[in-house]
Amino acid sequence: MSTTLNAPGRIAASLQNIGVQQTNSGVSTGSTWLKGEGEVIESVSPVDGASIGTVRSASKAEYEQVIATAQRAFTEWRTWPAPKRGEIIRQFGEELRRHKADLGKLVSYEMGKSYQEGLGEVQEMIDICDFAVGLSRQLHGLTMHSERPEHRMYEQWHPMGLVGIITAFNFPVAVWSWNTALAWVSGNVCLWKPSEKTPLCGVACQHIIAEVFKRNGVPEGVSILINGGREVGEWMSHDERIPLVSATGSTRMGKAVGAAVGQRLGRSLLELGGNNAIIISDKADLDMSLIGCVFGAVGTAGQRCTTTRRLIIHDKVYDAFKEKLVKAYGQLRIGDPLDENNHVGPLIDAQAVSMYQNALKAAVEQGGRVLVEGGIVSGAGYESGCYVKPAIVEAKPDMGIVQEETFAPILYLLRYSGDINEAIAIQNGVKQGLSSAVMTLDLREAERFLSAAGSDCGIANVNIGTSGAEIGGAFGGEKETGGGRESGSDAWKAYMRRQTNTINYGSKLPLAQGIKFDL
């Protein structure tokens, strides 16, 4: 059974421009689309509650079929020179530029983030393609001097093989591209399981890359799409034929994936939850700080792993900054994310709304004081039931709900009265360790925050917010965030295996460490 599209007129043209037709299932090996013998996944837009379409997921037999195709593809793809693979990715980036508006609109409509954020997500895809093109000529190792005469040593990097990619709904296309661009340029083939909440974004991306692959003779199986539910992720996690599984999602999900992959001594790259904080020092520029805090808290309706969830504010500026926040929240416009006048779109589904309500209730029960009321937005234009009001709660750092990550626009205000070390201790006092920031004009405070005695997060910023990472830097976090790194810097090494080589160009075979072994 094929994909069935019921797309409303507002998105139908974009799907058509990308090439998504009713003859496609949710399972593909590149330009070939399988029947899809698994369960039906319905894509419902949180924007208006309309059904965009249904996608047939993979059966176990089809999963085995695509694995075999990927294995065959790897034997050829790994032999292509890296710069030639880079040229393929360059062309993919050009296609993304051509489809940026249409894909950005689909991301916005299927996921619910603002159209500007949807465009930004596609731009991240373009940026990582550009990064990978340059990387294709820089996958270098090291040379080392040998202790033995007439010997030389060096190390090189080889592709691992099949890379499994499990992505979350909140960034339905960008995180896939972070992984695939680096994995492909490194010589791997990729198997992608998109979130079942945003299956059509996966179908659209597969269409775009398939055209590039087809005209360049890339073997079928370098890009595999496997739509499906939890069981597909479990198949991938337990599959010894997939040496690396990259998974983005909740900490609970990541622990399950990490345990399964670790049990078979595979590698996992985990990008999990965040409980991110911004410290507002008494030496901060409050006006500049406001923008970073508000966008960090309400962008993507609080559904980013880098969303700002805690503000740690010095007593001396607490009241002044609180007043600025309340005023700014009063100016937020909630509504259709495709309307660029709106700041906040919907949560992804009814389950997310329920989690938001439960978190607000728990915050009050645990002693929090609601500063900006939350609640569900109803009336004309909000029929999906997924629109909620960004809320602000004055709280204490040790409250149970403050220690948790709630994927919704709830911001907790916390006080500190001592020096920067007190604020850092509060910032570090949670189980997650993704993103963090300090707002200060004091050089000593900034450097303390960035030092070994400072933030324990994978990302630590000064005078910018917690969200909005650039692809040039490695992205990821510590503690229950998983410890993985994606995107820029040397994150490419996660997708490759290191090999140390020693070459003897002499006529004798001396042993290392001066060991004698004569026959």
Check: CB of residue 224 under 8 Å from CB of residue 202. no
Question: Which residue, among 289, 280, 275, has the nearest Cα to 438 in the 3D structure?
Answer: 280
Check: CB of residue 469 under 8 Å from CB of residue 307. no
**C-alpha span between 460 and 36 (Å, rounded):** 44
271 assigned to active site: yes
- Which of 95, 220, 271, 445 is catalytic? The answer is 271
DSSP letter assigned to residue 449: H
Q: What are the counts of helices (DSSP H) followed by strands (DSSP E) for the chain?
A: 14, 23
Question: CA-CA distances (angstroms) from residue 487 to 83, 348, 494?
Answer: 19, 25, 10
Check: CB of residue 403 under 8 Å from CB of residue 426. no
Question: Which residue, among 176, 468, 170, has the nearest Cα to 346 in the 3D structure?
Answer: 170
- Which of 190, 201, 205, 305 is catalytic? The answer is 305
Q: How many CA atoms lie within 13 A of 33 on its CB side?
A: 22
Question: CA-CA distances (angstroms) from residue 172 to 169, 277, 415?
Answer: 5, 24, 36
**C-alpha span between 240 and 86 (Å, rounded):** 28
Lookup: tokens for 176:
């896939």
**Three-state DSSP state, 42:** strand
Q: What would the DSSP string read from start to end of 52-80?
A: EEEEE---HHHHHHHHHHHHHHHHHHTTS
**C-alpha span between 487 and 128 (Å, rounded):** 7
> What value, to the nearest 5°, has the Cα angle with vertex 180 and ends 304 and 199?
60
190 assigned to active site: no
Tell me the longest C-alpha to C-alpha distance in the chain: 90
List, in sequence order, every beta strand (DSSP E) within 249-339. Answer: 267-271, 276-280, 308-314
Lookup: tokens for 407:
């994927």
* The dihedral formed by the CA atoms of 17, 22, 24 and 26, expressed in degrees to the nearest 10: 100
**Three-state DSSP state, 429:** coil
**C-alpha span between 161 and 267 (Å, rounded):** 12
Query: If you search the block for the tokens 């909000």, which residue do you land on?
Result: 382
Lookup: tokens for 406:
């709630």
Query: If you search the block for the tokens 């009814």, which residue do you land on?
Result: 350
* The dihedral formed by the CA atoms of 354, 359, 361 and 362, expressed in degrees to the nearest 10: 140
Question: Which residue, among 204, 43, 179, has the nearest Cα to 111 in the 3D structure?
Answer: 43
List the catalytic residues: 271, 305
